Amino acid sequence: MNQTKVILTALLLLGSTPAWAAPASSLDRLIARAHDLRGPQFLQLGEELEALGPEAKADLRRKVNDLRFTADGWRRDLDVVMLDVLVHRPTEVGRLDGLSGLEPRVYLSNRRPEPSVGTELKAMKLDPAVLFLAHYQTAELYRFAERGQYPAALSDEVQANLRKSELRALRHGLLIALGASGHPAAARTLAEVALDRRQDEATRGLAAAHLGQTREVAVALPALQKVLEEPKASTRIVTSALAGLGHLRTEESRQLLVAYTRARHTQEVRQSAIAGLGTLGSAWVAAAQPTTDGVALRARTADVLVDLLLSPEGAAVEVHLLEALTRTGEPQSLARLVAARDGATDEGVRARAQRASARLELALARQR
Amino acid sequence: MGLGFEDDVTQPTGFGPPRRLRSALLVPFAIAACSTDEPLDQKVDDPIAALSATPSRGVAPFEVVFDASQSRDPAFPTASLVGRFDFDGDGNYDADAVDLKGTHRYETAGTYVAKVLITSTEGRTAFATTSIEVIANTAPTAALSYSPGDGNAPLGVNFDASGSNDPDQDAATLEVRFDFEGDGTFDTEYAAAKLGSHTFNTAGEYFPTVEVRDRAGAIGTFRAQAPLVIRFGANLAADTNRDGKIDDADELDEDSWTEAHGALFLANLDDDDNNGRQDARDTAVNGNEDVRDLVPVIIRRHGGVVDGRDTATLSLEPAGAKNNVRVFLQSGGRLASLISPEGNAQVTIAPNDLLAGDLQLYVEGLNTRTAVWDGRANLRLAITVDGQLQEDVVSLRVAPVIFTDNLQEARALFVMRISDRRLGENLAFADVLRSDLPNGVELIEADQYVFGGDRWIQDNMQAGYQLIVGPGGTVLEMPTFAQLQRPTGQGGLEAYVPEAFLAPDRGYFYPGRSRDTSLNYGGNLEVMAPFENSEVSYPLGRLVIGGGNLGTLGGVAFEDHMGEVQRNWLNAQGVQGPAVEISSEWLAVGHIDETFQIVPYPQAATGAKPYKVVYASPNLARQLLLEVQSAGGGNRAVFAGRQTQTTVDAILEDPALMALNDAAQARLDTNKAILKAELDLKDEDFVEVPVMFEGFDFDGLDLVAALNPGIQNLVTTNNTLFVPDPEGPIGADGKDVWRKSADATLSGLGVEPIFVDVFDSYHLNLGEAHCGTNVLAVPYSTPWWTAAVGPRNR
């Protein structure tokens, strides 16, 4: 008992009230049930909450305003916001009905006739709560195109495949939009998907790549590291994680990327790590977010790229190294390359240094 | 001059009346002896005549040059002397010569005493003579040998007249002419070459004759005593020298196909009877117009066969040709299928048919060159005459399908004009084409309803042509489109080529089912203008396609290429490939026209390339935005009024977008390095236009497409360019900074850029102006059959 009091007190001091600490309200019980429900059962909760009456709905509103999305409580907090959307803003979900990227007669007339909604969803700047709800309840919320909306010439089998691709495109688009939303729970959601082995590799890969774009280092870095260390992770997933790392402009991610450039890794993985370094050291990104640390980070990134290019390991990945180096736009790299070109005794090194210096010179001249 | 009596060409003599010089006179101006029959009784002040003759001896006829200019008058050293010549010594003067020089041609053998009479002042005279010996000419002796001495038609025989000779001159200087068949008509002109050759196509006995002519015009003749016997042989004839007619000149090297010789034929892929079906897809000749698309081959009459004893066959070779060629035989005014894919590659010819006369065949190509058939087809005629085999082979090759670049004169522009809002109208673009297309370029508008509003007419086909030499040497052209792999069953443009384009004299070919990828579409296939350097030659241009394994711009491992079947077919045409592949897998649609086009450069200096590569540049686009931002215009609208309207700041301060464009620029630089290396391009051959990119997710991958309407995705019709309006921010001068930059760049080349609104109708659907059009152009003037393509040291 004393131990219980200690724990209760500690939790109270931390501002967290466990469900069992006080008699749970109907709302609390409903929220707790929401965590594991999907599909119609989840959607049913909206009606149940309505049935609880206005006080419960008001209480829900208060909870929404008090959400913290901490490392421990973020998933439960998401349940709250999703219930809130169901009850208070159901029409907002309806905006997903009008996605042109999922409309067959629209996307089939595109130059690449496949569904895609990431860009469209980002531009809509939907409330992330709606995005979360749609993400977790995708299959239930998405209204498949009516039969009449598909061109008459399409067979049933083709239409069925298109529906599958539309559903998948919506899920991917929601992840992209979440990643761009800046919501505190977005990175965690993406990390959850990236680490979920039940997901297909395209979905996991996309989640990993966009997890990096959230720039939530505290969440993204450990998650991406876990993905990279996962035994038997597919090339798609690994290289997506490396692409994501490139957006985390930290020394830790730089070092992690450098480790994956080594020759013991496959060609695809090395290329991806190098491309990630190019993103991490990108002069254009630095210009958008100039920081002193960023300048130093870019310089260190450029240095390691030059080192790699001049090493025997550099020959196999030269194209990607050239691209990454030009992206850093470091004049010091040019000086190193010129010196290497003029002083190299190995013809391969000399040639690589020559090509790289010419390329970098052109890029630097273009920016002047 | 000499003293004493001399019997040489220089015989100066005395003065006044001719006198005989008996002894030398010791006088200050002593003069040598002259003609012996002239008495000499000279006085010391008489004129002195001198005469030289060159030559003084020769074989008639020949010309002698006389020179009396050494004559003088000691008494009047400065007096002008006048001469008169009697060349033949008959006492009659033949010519006057104020310059004391003359020439004479001696035609008749004999010895002549030529004389000159010199007259000085006050009528004082002197004369001199010289002897000219003219030897009679002997006619040359003609000689002729030839090999082989007999054989079966067609038989090439070599003739040699070098055994001819002439006692009067070097045999090498003799001239000969040949009458190979001995029919009285000489087949060559007189020439110093003593060797000749002739192909005998008709059976018979011939008496070859040669005439030899010497300098004097005397002629020697040799006529064969024993006949050169040409027996009937297997003889196939086709226009293998490509001059538009079938004659003896085609016999040389007719059995092999090279850049120098070999017959040409078309893949008969048009629809001359307008029945909606390609002419090659049935077993008949589809009307008189269709006959023009077939090439004639002749089986020459064979008068030596005996029905019942001898046999004859006609074969199509190699095995790969069987499914790709049909041979018709003209019989009774009709053309009947003789060799076909449905039948055997070898057929029997009745001996009686060979006896009756020449047999007329027609060859029809059923397909283009493919990865498994290089277009070569040989016809072999084999006749067994009394147990002896006679054979003849002619070699043919189907024309390749050749695609034209943007510099070729445009003949027609294809577009779908969409007026129906439900289909996504594009009148802002289509109407400009209607009003501003250059004169002479036909506008062909695809029906919006028939083809389901599918506006991507760049993607379902690639404009090309086939070319061969027609009758009389005229060029026979068949516009031939490649129908490219696009998803079927959606009621769009997949039916356009077979239903709307196919027509009399307009054909197409479908390479076959490839793996489905957007990289198969026409926007991912471009043609670089012809070029050559010391190492390679591409006189008909070179294909460029997109694909690769460099992955997405972010670095996700990914690979995509044009489908193998289609790619192999393109390369199999053999005259514009192998295609250069540059990375495009990072693009949402995967097409290289999202990154570059070539445009004419009318203001190019002499010797410079007549085109520029218009190249997308995120860097340039960004630089222009930075200028607007630094001038305080960060909140200026980009794509003002459009669904995707944004601001300069929003673009520049989006780290993900900047990273993506930075990577796009680096990838474009990688591609540029490939283009420079493979297509003999230099940095100065490129001009940049401001184009940025944004992300689009497909299949879980972050791919990219143009953020602003891609300026390089333009339409070229001669020197008029229809350019996507980039709709950038307005600068301090009130002008769209992106458009202004592009306008200055393109106008500076000497072309006329017309900016068009493609934003809603194409750009938002992941395409631009080039994607929504196609151009049929004039063929290259370089004949493909003589074009040496690829590395020069093959």
How much is the ipTM here? 0.90
Give the separation between CA B118 and CA B96, rounded to whole angstroms. 10
User: For residue B321, how many other CB atoms are within 10 A of its CB?
Assistant: 24
Same-domain check for residues A199 and A275: no
Fold of B403-783: L-arginine/glycine Amidinotransferase; Chain A (3.75.10)
- B557:A289 CB<8 A: no
Q: Would you call A326 and B665 a contact, using CB atoms and an 8 Å cutoff? A: yes
Is B700 close to A172, i.e. CB distance below 8 A? yes
Name residue, tokens 């030529």.
B114
Q: What is the mean pLDDT of residues B776-780?
A: 97
Residues A260 and A271 in one domain: no
Task: Name which of A233, A225, A219 is nearest A178 in CA terms.
Answer: A219
> Which class in CATH covers the domain with range B1-136?
mainly beta
- What is the architecture of the domain spanning B264-398? Sandwich (2.60)
Q: What pLDDT is attached to residue B436?
A: 97
Residue B400 has pLDDT above 50, yes or no: yes
Same domain for A28 and A136, yes or no, is yes
What's CA A179's distance to the chain center, in Å? 5
Beta carbons within 8 Å of A338's beta carbon, 6+ residues apart: A353, A357
- For A175, the closest chain B residue by CA position comes to B700
Check whether residue A12 and residue A43 sit in a common domain: yes
Residue B105, classed as helix, strand or coil, is strand
Confidence of residue A154 (pLDDT cuts 50, 70, 90): confident
**Which residues of chain A are within 8 Å of residue B659 when distances are taken between CB atoms?**
246-247, 279, 282, 284-285
The pLDDT tens digits of the residues spanning A133-142 come to 888 887 777 7
Do the Cβ atoms of B771 and B522 come closer than 8 Å? no
How far away is chain B from the Cα of A310, in angstroms, using its nearest Cα?
19
* CA B413 to the chain's CA centroid: 27
Structural domain of A292: 265-368
Q: Who wins on pLDDT, B33 or A43?
A: A43
Round to whole Å and give the CA distance between A138 and A38.
Answer: 10
- In DSSP notation, B165-193 reads B-TTS-GGG-EEEEETT-SS--SS--BS-
CB B523 within 8 A of CB B458: yes
Q: How many CB contacts within 8 angstroms connect chain A with chain B?
A: 182
Q: Which two tokens stand for residue B113?
A: 């005493």
Q: In this predicted structure, what is the pLDDT of residue A300?
A: 94
For the segment A289-329, what is each residue's pLDDT rounded down to a tens digit? Answer: 667 778 889 999 999 999 999 999 999 999 999 999 999 98
Same domain, A311 and A172: no
Strands (E) located in B686-725: 686-690, 693-698, 701-706, 715-717, 720-724
Check: CB of residue B551 under 8 Å from CB of residue A271: yes
pLDDT per residue as tens digits for the range A238-268:
999 999 999 999 999 999 999 999 989 999 9
Burial of B409 (0-12, 13-18, 19+ CB in 10 A): middle
Shortest Cα–Cα distance, A293 to chain B (Å):
16
Task: Check whether residue A243 and residue A361 sit in a common domain.
Answer: no
Closest residue in B to A110 (Cα–Cα)? B765
Q: Are residues A362 and A246 in the same domain?
A: no
Residues B635-647 pLDDT 10s: 999 999 999 999 9
Confidence of residue B16 (pLDDT cuts 50, 70, 90): very low
Percent of the residues in chain A that have a pLDDT greater than 70, as a whole number: 90
Measure the CA–CA gap between B230 and B622, rounded to whole angstroms.
81
What span, in angstroms and rounded, lies between the C-alpha atoms of B442 and B550?
41
B594 CA: distance to closest CA in chain A (Å): 12
**Rounded Cα distance, A324 and B554, in Å:** 11
A138 CB within 8 Å of a chain B CB = no
- Going by the DSSP 8-state scheme, the letter that residue B499 receives in this structure is I
Of the three residues A229, A248, A264, the one that is the final residue of a domain is: A264
Please check whether residues A40 and A122 belong to one and the same domain.
Answer: yes
Nearest to A109 among B453, B652, B694 (CB): B453
Rounded to an integer, the average pLDDT of A185-190 is 95
State the greatest distance between any 2 C-alpha atoms of chain B, in Å, as a whole number: 129
How far apart, in whole angstroms, are the C-alpha atoms of residue A177 and residue B277? 51
Final residue of a structural domain among A264, A289, A313: A264
The burial of B52, by beta-carbon neighbours within 10 Å (0-12 exposed, 13-18 middle, 19 or more buried), is given as buried
Taking CA–CA distances from A204, the nearest residue in chain B reads B700
Q: From B645, B675, B431, B464, select the one nearest B569 (Cα to Cα).
A: B464
Q: Over chain B, what is the mean pLDDT?
A: 91
- 3-state class of B269 per DSSP? coil
Tell me the pLDDT band of B3, cut-offs 50, 70 and 90: very low
User: Whole-prediction pTM value?
Assistant: 0.82
Chain A residue at shortest CA distance from B558: A236
Which of B556, B617, B686 to mutate: most A Cβ within 10 Å? B556
Longest dimension (CA), chain A: 82
pLDDT of residue A15: 45
User: A288 phi and psi, to 5 degrees?
Assistant: -75, -30
The least confident of A90-94, A279-283, B553-557 is A90-94
Q: Give pLDDT, residue B36.
A: 40
- List chain B domain ranges: 1-136, 145-231, 264-398, 403-783
Same domain, A45 and A93: yes
Do A270 and A164 sit in the same domain of this protein? Answer: no
What is the rounded CA–CA span in Å between residue A280 and residue A248?
A: 7
Which phi and psi angles does B504 have, rounded to 5°?
A: -55, 130
- Same topology between domain B145-231 and domain B403-783: no
Closest in A209, A215, A284 to B658, CB measured: A284
Secondary structure (3-state) at A23:
coil
pLDDT beyond 80 at A363: yes
Number of domains in chain A: 2
Q: Out of B644, B653, B654, whose CB is closest to A123?
A: B644
Q: How far apart are CA B441 and CA B774, in angstroms?
A: 12
B554 contacts in A (CB within 8 Å)?
A: 209, 243, 246, 275-276, 279
Whether residue A316 sits in one domain with residue A365: yes
Give the pLDDT of residue B260: 92
What residues contact residue B166 under an 8 Å CB cut-off, 6+ apart? Answer: B138, B139, B140, B141, B174, B212, B214, B220
Using one digit for the tens of pLDDT, what is the confidence trace for A5-57? Answer: 444 444 444 444 444 444 457 888 888 888 888 888 888 888 888 888 888 88
Q: Compare CB distances from A109 to B424, B550, B702 and report the shortest one's residue.
A: B424
Residues 6 or more apart whose CB falls under 8 angstroms from that of A140 comprise: A38, A39, A40, A42, A43
In the structure encoding, which two tokens stand for residue B326, read together? 């049909």
Per-residue pLDDT band at B486 (split at 50, 70, 90): confident
A191, A298: one domain = no
Please say which residue of A200, A233, A264 terminates a domain.
A264
Contact check, Cβ <8 Å, A113/B554: no
Pick the residue from chain B with its C-alpha nearest to A180.
B656
C-alpha B325/C-alpha B368 separation (Å) is 10
- What is the CATH superfamily name and number for domain B145-231? Immunoglobulins (2.60.40.10)
High-pLDDT (> 90) share of chain B, %: 82
- Are the beta carbons of A284 and B623 separated by less than 8 Å? no
